[in-house]
């Protein structure tokens, strides 16, 4: 199943088959996503809290570590996710948080999940209706089967930065160590290459065409002969990078703990600047 779905295609799909819609709007430094959901959401969509439902408790594993499989399974069932049903996830526009849910469902074994390209903004700009009513969700029967997508730990990320291509999905100033508003140490994993996720989408929040994405990653040294991985601050925007790589036809592993895990070990080296 293609990982993206356009607004017009989703509208047609909703008219002919049941679809589980997951609203995963989330703002790193802004108001809780549930507030946006309550002001308006796609009709029938259930709200999924990225911090509570899609990640484990913050700690040495990072700010958004992998959730316990039983906890993730329960959260998805509460949202109506069934083992074989179609799931469409969306956020405000650029798929930053939606991609983490897409990745998580895929990691835990759900194959029929797609991201609404352009998100809530694209839906409303196309003139489609929204709702402020919280739907009564029929619990699903999803079974979490972890390990269906490749992941990296700190040791694997450090090795990949040396022997393959490790992409840092954060903004350039955080990569260079000039700013670090969240984590206690600034900088990046030595050998990692900066690829901010903002470069994966256009001004409308939609992903660039696969050919342009492939060109972008090729300029960063990605080739079919090298293993590829991605990290960010806590494994959220890096999932967006994994999705963009997927669209470009490039398999890649996610360092879920990312920088917030890397800096918990003082023996891990830290680089600053452009390289």
Task: List the 253-255 sheet strands across, edge first.
Answer: 151-152, 253-255, 228-231, 165-168, 193-194
**CA quadruple 16, 114, 248, 200: dihedral sign:** positive
Cβ atoms 183, 64 nearer than 8 A: no
Other CB atoms within 10 Å distance of the CB of residue 147:
10
Which parts of the chain fold into alpha helices (H)? 7-16, 33-39, 50-53, 69-78, 96-107, 119-125, 154-163, 172-175, 210-219, 237-247, 258-262
The question of whether 232 is a catalytic residue gets the answer yes
Q: Which of 21, 86, 232, 236 is catalytic?
A: 232
Task: List the 87-90 sheet strands across, edge first.
Answer: 4-5, 113-116, 87-90, 20-23, 46-47
Question: Rg of the Cα trace of the chain?
Answer: 18
**DSSP-assigned states of every residue in 181-233:** SSSSS--B-TT-EE--GGGGB-TTSPBPPHHHHHHHHHHTT--TTS-EEEE-S
C-alpha atoms less than 13 angstroms from C-alpha of 17 in its C-beta half-sphere: 10
Closest CA to 167 of 226, 220, 212, 246: 220
Other CB atoms within 10 Å distance of the CB of residue 78:
15
Active site residues: 232
């Amino acid at each position: 199943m293609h990982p993206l779905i356009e607004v017009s295609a989703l509208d047609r799909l909703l008219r002919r088959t049941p679809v589980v819609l997951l609203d995963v709007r989330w703002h790193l430094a802004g108001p809780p996503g549930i507030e946006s959901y309550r002001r308006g959401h796609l009709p029938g969509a259930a709200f999924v809290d990225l911090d509570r439902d899609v990640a484990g408790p913050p700690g040495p594993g990072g700010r958004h570590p992998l959730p316990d499989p039983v906890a993730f399974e329960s959260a998805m069932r509460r949202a109506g996710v069934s083992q074989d049903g179609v799931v469409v996830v969306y956020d405000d526009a650029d798929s930053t948080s939606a991609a983490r849910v897409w990745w998580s469902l895929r990691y835990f074994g759900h194959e029929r999940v797609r991201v609404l390209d352009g998100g809530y903004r694209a839906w409303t700009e196309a003139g489609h209706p929204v709702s402020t009513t919280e739907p009564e969700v029929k619990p699903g029967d999803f079974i979490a089967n972890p390990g269906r997508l490749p992941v990296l730990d700190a040791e694997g990320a450090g090795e990949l930065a040396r022997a393959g291509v490790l992409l840092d999905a954060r903004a350039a100033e955080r990569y260079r160590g000039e700013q670090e508003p969240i984590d206690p140490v600034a900088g990046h994993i030595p050998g990692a290459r900066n690829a901010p996720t903002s470069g994966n989408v256009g001004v409308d929040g939609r992903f660039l065409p696969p050919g342009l994405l492939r060109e972008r990653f090729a300029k960063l040294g990605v080739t079919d002969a090298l293993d590829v991985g991605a990290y960010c601050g806590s494994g959220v925007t890096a999932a967006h990078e994994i999705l963009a790589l997927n669209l470009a036809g490039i398999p890649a592993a996610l360092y879920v703990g990312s920088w917030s895990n890397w800096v918990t070990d003082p023996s891990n080296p830290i680089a600053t600047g452009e390289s």
